[in-house]
Copies of this chain bind each other. A is one copy, B any other.
Amino acid sequence: MIDIHSTEPGCGTDFTAITTTAQKKDGTYVIAITTTAQKKDGTYVINGEKQFVSLIPEITTYGGGFFVPYNAKGLTPTRFETLGLDIGGMKYDNVEVPDYYLLGEENKGYGVANESFILSRVPLSLVMTATAMRCVEEAMNYMKQREAFGRPIAAFGMMQHQLADTLANLEAARWLAYYAGWVTDQYLKGNATLEQVADAGAKAKLFASKYAIQALHDVLEWYGALGLTTEIDMHMAFRSMRMITVAEGTMNAMRIIIAMNALGREYIPWRWVPKK
């Protein structure tokens, strides 16, 4: 299993602010990241700290702009308990890797990471949509069995109101994600730009984040008190879903990408400067 390590205590959405630096012995290298990696005799020395990296407990190897084996000397895993999808961090204390462990070219780390984020949003959107759909299907079975006022709760108009809206939303999330997947495919074939993938992927992820979460809400409501117990897994599905809305970019990060593509870079609110 391979992980990407980009988030740091001082940077997340704004991942241009990462500070882990990788240095060769005789110079500072790669993007400005706090973990420093110095090269001495064909070896990179990495220092710094990463956090919120997915699946820390299961990984065996991982990399950032570098491929770094999990058991490298000087590497200390840190852990955030999340009661859902596990995320954790890593401290790099004079971790040494041979120079052929560098991924891509020096000073191109940002591009590699950025592309990986963009491409990953389609599968994440589908994970959210499919998980939500699976939970809704389970809940539909429950609705048909659970009775109140002499009939299955599935046979109440209010329940069907919520169910119908949820099913329409998830179907929309699915096709929006498929579309983004198709744009990705076009990009890989050279027929679309990375900006177009970024735009479609941001729409798919923003949309799935909102409506998969909404669907889980409804599912929890439909189960009544049972939905919050460890008897059923819906509350854990909810937690994982909530986390995925943050992974590879928060909902606001998606909004920024969508608006930037629609209006043009010059309208980015915090960069806007009056024309002279």
Known contacts A172-B173, A221-B251; A151 and B274 CB within 8 A of each other: yes
Q: Which of B154, B158, B207, B220 contacts A169 (CB 8 A)?
A: B207
Asked if A160 and B263 sit within 8 Å, CB to CB, the answer is yes
Contact B158–A160 (Cβ < 8 Å): yes
Assess A269 versus B160: contact at CB under 8 Å? Given A168-B207, A250-B224: yes
Query: CA A225 – CA B173 in complex, angstroms?
Result: 23
Q: Give bound CA distance, A213 to B196, whole Å.
A: 26
| Residues of B contacting A225 in the complex (Cβ-Cβ under 8 angstroms) | 7, 12, 51-52, 80, 87, 243, 246-247
How would you classify the secondary structure of chain A's contact residues: helix, strand, loop or mixed? helix
Interface string of A261-275 (1 = CB under 8 A from B): 011000111101010
Q: How many angstroms between the C-alpha atoms of A229 and B7 in the bound complex?
A: 15
User: Are B151 and A263 in contact, with the CB atoms below 8 A?
Assistant: no
Q: List B contacts of A207 (CB < 8 A).
A: 168-169, 171-172
Interface residues of A in 178-229 (CB under 8 A from B): 178-179, 200, 202-203, 206-207, 213, 217, 220-221, 224-225, 227-229
Say yes or no: A152 contacts B267, CB within 8 Å: yes
Q: A203-B167, A269-B269 are in contact. Are A228 and B256 (CB under 8 A)?
A: no
The answer to whether B157 and A269 touch across the interface, beta carbons within 8 angstroms, is yes
Count the copies.
4
Tell me if A58 is interfacial: C-beta within 8 Å of chain B: no
Q: What is A's interface to B at a CB cutoff of 8 Å?
A: 7, 10-14, 17, 51-52, 80-84, 87, 140, 143-144, 147-152, 154-165, 167-169, 171-173, 175-176, 178-179, 200, 202-203, 206-207, 213, 217, 220-221, 224-225, 227-231, 235, 239, 242-243, 245-247, 250-252, 254-256, 258-259, 262-263, 267-270, 272, 274
